Chains A and B, each alone.
Chain A
Amino acid sequence: MTTALLLLICLVTLGSAATAMLLRNLIHSVLLLIGSWIGVAIFYLSCGAEFVAFAQLLVYVGAVSMVVLFAVLLTRRSRTDVTVSADTVSRAWSAVMAGGAVLAVLLYGALMTTLPAASAHGPAAPVKQLGAELMGIHAASLLVIGMILTVATLGSVVIASEEPSGKKEDAP
């Protein structure tokens, strides 16, 4: 019964990701993509990695979606600017061809190689063990991640903020 559920989640995520890439309306495609992120979080839950699922939910659906939606709103001139103009068919075709080629290579790798049998019981990653390892072996990388995040937020604020030089921009 669980593999059927897993399959369903996979199909829903793939479906929403694909339609997200095809839609004209930018807001709809972003929201569908957030739906696929939720699908990925549910997939993590079904694999037993609770902490990562909730971290994904909190980070992606809570924060990154807001950043993306605000970016979409900030980069449009008028209400109707949300619908993006259609791309040239040739460009779309070449992209799909490239994606198909990569997919073929990946699928070949995934299906043909003989993978070792899965370990007997499903491994559990209790939060306490994760905490111990994070503070133990990976303490240095935790600090580095903290550094990256602060630098990223400060940097994005500086990049996106108005230029203090007061150079006259053309009116939007």
Chain B
Amino acid sequence: MISSPLQLCLVFSSLLFCIGLAGALSRSNSILVLLGIELMLNAANLNFIAFWRFGPAPSPATGVIFVTFSVAVAAAEAAVGLALVIAVYRRQRNIRLQEAVRLKG
């Protein structure tokens, strides 16, 4: 069934994606949720490189450039996300996701 290495990469990235998704959904600690999202982002990047490497097109480096940009954006997102987590922690002393419901500033 897994004939070409491209399919191997696709299987690998979708597995990684689902681990990230399951992790993000199951854990109540917001830092782990953020890390789950980070994992899903990595899985997406993986697909880009897989298609660039094993894909049909000769070699436009758009896939590689796309991944560079997405790594940069993911870093910015991680920074802002964790800043939010710290702000939430300062508000309610613990970072359990279920208890972050108060919208008052």
Contacts and interface: CB of A to CB of B under 8 A. Distances in A.
A145 to B, nearest CB: 5
Contact of A21 (B26, B52, B69): B26
B92 to A, nearest CB: 10
Query: B-side binding surface: helix, strand, loop or mixed?
Result: helix
B18 A118 contact: no
Contacts of B7: 110-111, 115
Chain B residues touching A, range: 35 or more
Interface residues of A, number: 84
A118 B6 contact: yes
B83 A157 contact: yes
Contacts of B32: 21, 26, 29, 84
A8 B38 CA distance: 22
B104 interface: no
Contact of A84 (B29, B45, B49, B58): B29
A102 B21 CA distance: 9
A95 to B, nearest CB: 4
A67 to B, nearest CB: 5
A25 B49 CA distance: 32
A166 interface: no
A127 to B, nearest CB: 10
7 pairs of A and B residues whose beta carbons are closest in the complex: A123-B59, A21-B23, A99-B22, A152-B76, A156-B83, A95-B26, A95-B25
Contacts of A20: 23, 35
